[in-house]
Amino acid sequence: MTKYLILILLSLLLSSCSRESYFMFQTQNPKNLRFEKISHYVAVNEIEVPNYLKQDHLSIIKENKVSFLPDKWAESIDTALQKELVSYLLKTLPSYGVLEYPWQKSKKAEAEIKIHINDFIYKNGKIVLSGYYFIKKDNEEYKKVFNFSEISSPSPKQIVENMKKLYKRLEKEIVKNLKVLTAKRED
């Protein structure tokens, strides 16, 4: 009887562990990249995230408190966001090389991007992405505050899809402002 009880408890424990899902943040790899002669570099610093994003579980705000779902990120979210930005820059700026943190100091970056995320979470029926970023170019520093949101269901799959959508919006804004700053160089 004790053996059966142990087996039942073990199977319940294993079945509860198998309910976890793992999510990748990566939206897509750049395909068919054609690199022109690289004459300029953009450097991407570490992405700063709040403490609740530094663990591997999906986070939500429930009753004004951060809660963690059993679903997990397959890799740390700050690393995933950095990789995603680098991928997007490579795809949209083919004549630029992209240096990831920590980059070789022997290569001089024309511009440097630093993102600080205050919130990237599901709360009150929405995904919220807020914070600020800097683009440093020569002696100029451009700072931009962002606050995006997207209506979402509380399902983990929908949360992740909407997080990807909001981050893509941030990437597009960063590239647009980077192009404006680097166009000043050519004037």
* Options 3.40.109.10, 3.20.20.70, 3.40.50.10610, 3.40.50.261; CATH of 33-182: 3.40.50.10610
Distance between CA atoms of residues 162 and 182, nearest Å: 30
Question: What 8-state DSSP symbol labels residue 55?
Answer: S
Residue 30 scores a pLDDT above 60: no
Domain boundaries, the chain: 33-182
Radius of gyration, alpha carbons of the chain:
20
- Pull the structure tokens for residue 56: 């591997």
Angle at 148 between CA 145 and CA 152, to 5 degrees: 160
Residue 108 scores a pLDDT above 60: yes
Q: Do the beta carbons of residue 97 and residue 46 sit within 8 Å?
A: no
SS3 state of residue 164: helix
Tens digits of residue pLDDT in 124-155: 999 999 999 999 988 888 999 999 999 999 99
Element (H, E) at 102: none
What is the total residue count of the chain? 187
pLDDT at res. 110: 87
Higher pLDDT, 3 or 157: 157
Per-residue pLDDT band for 12 (boundaries 50, 70, 90) equals: very low
Report the pLDDT averaged over residues 34-52.
Answer: 84
Give CA 145 to chain center in angstroms. Answer: 16
Angle at 115 between CA 126 and CA 68, to 5 degrees: 40
Q: Which of 64-68, 89-93, 105-109 has the lowest mean pLDDT?
A: 105-109
pLDDT at res. 34: 55
Per-residue pLDDT band for 27 (boundaries 50, 70, 90) equals: low
Return mean pLDDT, the chain.
83
Measured from the Cβ of residue 166, the count of other Cβ atoms closer than 10 Å reads 20
Q: Do the beta carbons of residue 12 and residue 4 sit within 8 Å?
A: no
Helices 156-186 and 77-92: angle between axes, nearest 10 degrees:
50
pLDDT at res. 68: 92
